[in-house]
Amino acid sequence: MTVCEPATTGTVVSTGELDLRRALTGLEGLLVMSMAMMQRHDVDEVINVLNGEVESVTGCQLVHVTFQRDREWITLPPGEPTKPAEPSPSTGERVFVQDNGDSWTSTTAVAVVNGAPGQLVLRSFARPDSEQMFVIERLGDLLGTALADAQVHERHRRRAHELDAANNEMARTVAALQHREGVLEEFARLSTTGTELDVATSLSRLTGSAVVLRDRFGHETTRITVAGRYQPVLERTSLEEVIGGRPELGTIELEVPPDKDRGDASFALRYAGVALGLLRAKAAAMNELENRLSRDLLDDLLGGLPAAVAVDRASAQGHDLGVPHDLIVCAWSSERGHGGHDRDVDHLRMAMARQGLPCLVVWNRGLVVALAHRGVDMGRLFNDLSRAYGDTNGVIAKGEPANSPEQIPRAYEQAQRALRARQQSHSPYGFIAYADLGVDRLLALDGNAEEVERLIRDWLGDLLIYDRRHGTELVPTLAAYLDHGGKYADTATTLTIHRNTLRYRISRITEISGHDLNDVETQLNLHLATRAWRLRRASVGEPPRNAVR
């Protein structure tokens, strides 16, 4: 603002020219007003006191006050235009009076300790006399002191507020650090003494979120929900972490509600993933060790391990061989990818675990073999494996109960014979026990091998020679025909050939072999011969030739 020059009639007030009684009366009111301003400790309130009392003390109205506040020039009271003020001259003790025609303006300096003084501008309808100008001049000094005091208190309050804010922020930071330290301690403890369920439960409790664990194939293995909380799916934030940083260990997912801190949730999720990674890696290592020991033990048992050694080794692995056992073999014709044998072993082990029977499982000579405590439900086992593979193109077989370790190899051979018999039958899929075999039990015995081979040569020799020389399938056709009791329709369907083709083959079989297929005794001998031929020629575990996915 522009500093007003003194009016032509204005002069510096001389103390000798004052009416001291009137001056003291003005100073008394000024003292009361200054005390009120000094008690406010706030710049705006100081100006409010000035605005309310200045007319009664000086006989003038307040126009505005211009002063420095936090190194910026401002003009108060609010409503007046704010603009930078020019410093008052060094003779700041003077009062400048200017005639505006209908009013008079009095301007005096607002005292400051350091820097440029401000300006106090008052308006009156008559020219101020000497006593008024004396009071106005003193008012500038007292106003400067009150404003300086108010600004000091404002700075103190501002610094106190900043300090409180810093303390609060520090307290929040300390609380967050303590929370995260607690998270680290929790998951560090669970990674050595807990389970996957413990980790998921703690993560849900710490974050107030639902937790979902999945295996490497994306299948959900564990879900922990937050009791009593419901949020629409669209309002949730899903966070996912690869367990232990290894995709083969699976993933862990959080469904974070909108009222929860995402940063804390991400932190907890990361270290829960680390804890789960350690648990799953340790479990995988232990499983691999146990599986290797179990494979070695079962391989040795199938080979005829001495009873005393077998019992001690099994006991060391937590398996009791002192009770009767069932010996199970399993073969599935589903296509296998890389590592299919491990998958087959896992399927059978998990299916046996659902029956609650302790068992040893191994891959041996093209079959999955399980030695379990007696009482295996074969129908349930087949159904569980069918669900695991996604089809029913398999067969499981069981030998007679093994009451001692010495009987395990015998039970294994019996289970293989039963499996082979079922695979080569007209119904090649399903489950079978060695005890369910009829004449096939005699045909499959190694002790009868010489007589069985002679039976095959006597009744099928000419047909086998013809098939070998001409690449035909007369013997398999005869076997299917006899399995179906001589029914053309069923036999043709099984062989997937036309009935006329079947009739031609049957006529060729009769012509080459010289056997009358209408004779009952001939049919019996041929049927036994074909069954023996299939049992002797088929490899154990080999899928049937007519297997269809």
pLDDT of the residue at 235: 47
Q: In terms of Cα–Cα distance, which of 136, 143, 149 is closest to 27? A: 136
The whole-model pTM stands at 0.44
Q: Are 399 and 434 in contact (CB under 8 A)?
A: yes
Per-residue pLDDT at 169: 92
For the chain, 549 residues long, give each residue's pLDDT as a single digit of tens. Answer: 333 433 333 444 455 555 666 667 677 888 888 888 888 888 889 999 998 889 888 889 999 999 888 788 888 876 554 444 444 444 444 788 998 888 999 999 998 878 788 899 999 999 998 888 888 888 988 998 999 899 899 899 999 999 999 999 999 888 888 888 888 999 899 888 888 889 989 888 888 888 888 887 788 888 888 764 444 443 446 788 888 788 878 888 888 887 777 888 888 888 888 988 888 888 778 777 777 787 888 888 888 888 888 888 888 888 888 899 999 999 987 554 434 577 888 888 888 888 988 888 888 888 899 999 999 999 999 999 999 888 988 999 998 899 999 999 989 988 888 888 777 776 788 888 887 775 555 555 555 567 777 778 888 888 989 989 989 999 989 988 888 888 888 888 888 899 899 999 999 998 888 888 888 888 888 887 887 787 666 544 444 444 322
| Residue 466 Cα distances to 148, 179, 453, 498, 537, angstroms | 125, 84, 18, 22, 17
Q: How far is CA 158 from CA 14, 17, 167, in A?
A: 43, 46, 14
Q: What is the pLDDT of residue 23?
A: 62
Could you give the CA distance from residue 4 to residue 238 in angstroms, rounded to a whole number?
70
pLDDT at 230: 43
SS3 263: helix
543 secondary structure, DSSP code: P
Domains along the sequence of the chain with CATH: 19-74+97-182 (3.30.450.40), 194-284 (3.30.450.30), 318-437 (3.30.70.270), 444-540 (1.10.10.2840)
Q: Residues near 258 by Cβ (< 8 Å), separated by ≥ 6?
A: 231, 235, 236, 237
Q: Considering only CA atoms, which of 177, 242, 180 is closest in space to residue 214?
A: 242
CA distance 13 to 19: 11
- In angstroms and rounded to an integer, the radius of gyration of the C-alpha atoms of the chain is 52
State the pLDDT at residue 83: 45
The 220-224 sheet, strands edge to edge: 220-224, 210-214, 251-256, 237-242
* CA within 13 Å, CB half, 199: 31
Q: How many residues does the chain have?
A: 549
